[in-house]
Amino acid sequence: MYSKQIFIYNMPGITNDNKFPLIIFDTEIDMYAFITRLKSEPRTSDTTVPYFVLNNPQLLPSFVRNMHVYRRRKAYVRSSKMNDDIESESDSDDEFEEFDGMFIIHENLDELRRCTIDNNTNCTTGFAEAIRDFV
């Protein structure tokens, strides 16, 4: 048995007590196949729709994780120069940072409903029940 923990955000009926369910898989390959079938998008701070993120995505093999990794330009604060040196601008890799995406629940509902979900909580209900009734 293999499992992957997810963190749930902005979902009705999900609280801090039951927002960390486990998705259970028969094999490691099943787990990787599930993750590669998910639809992700860049994470934004103003997201209000229900979504989830993977716990410890850095532990996944790169061929699985990289499908859901995004890049954004690093924010720099430029210091004023005292001399006449010219700053050059380039699109080198060190000007970007990578971050893991988020998974909108509505867009991944069919995949989630096909899974075995362990609520991973002492609460009487959790994500397994919430996803079943989600519209």
Is residue 93 in a domain? Answer: no
Residues making up the chain, counted from first to last: 135
Phi/psi-derived region of residue 120, left when phi > 0, alpha when psi is between -120 and 50, beta in every other case: left
Domain containing residue 11: 2-71+99-133
pTM for this entry: 0.79
Residue with tokens 């954004």: 72
Instruction: Supply the pLDDT for residue 79.
Output: 55
The whole-number pLDDT of residue 88 equals 47
Q: What is the predicted pLDDT for the residue at 132? A: 86
* Tally of domains within the chain: 1
Q: What does the mean pLDDT of the chain come to?
A: 86
Q: In this predicted model, what pLDDT tens digit does every residue of 30-84 receive, in sequence order?
A: 999 999 999 999 988 788 999 999 999 999 999 999 999 998 877 765 555 555 5
- 3-state SS assignment for residue 4: strand
- Cβ neighbourhood burial of 105 (10 Å; 0-12, 13-18, 19+): buried
Query: Percentage of the chain with pLDDT > 70?
Result: 86
Q: Nearest-CA neighbor of 53 among 73, 38, 64, 63?
A: 38
Distance (Å, whole) CA 123 – CA 103 = 24
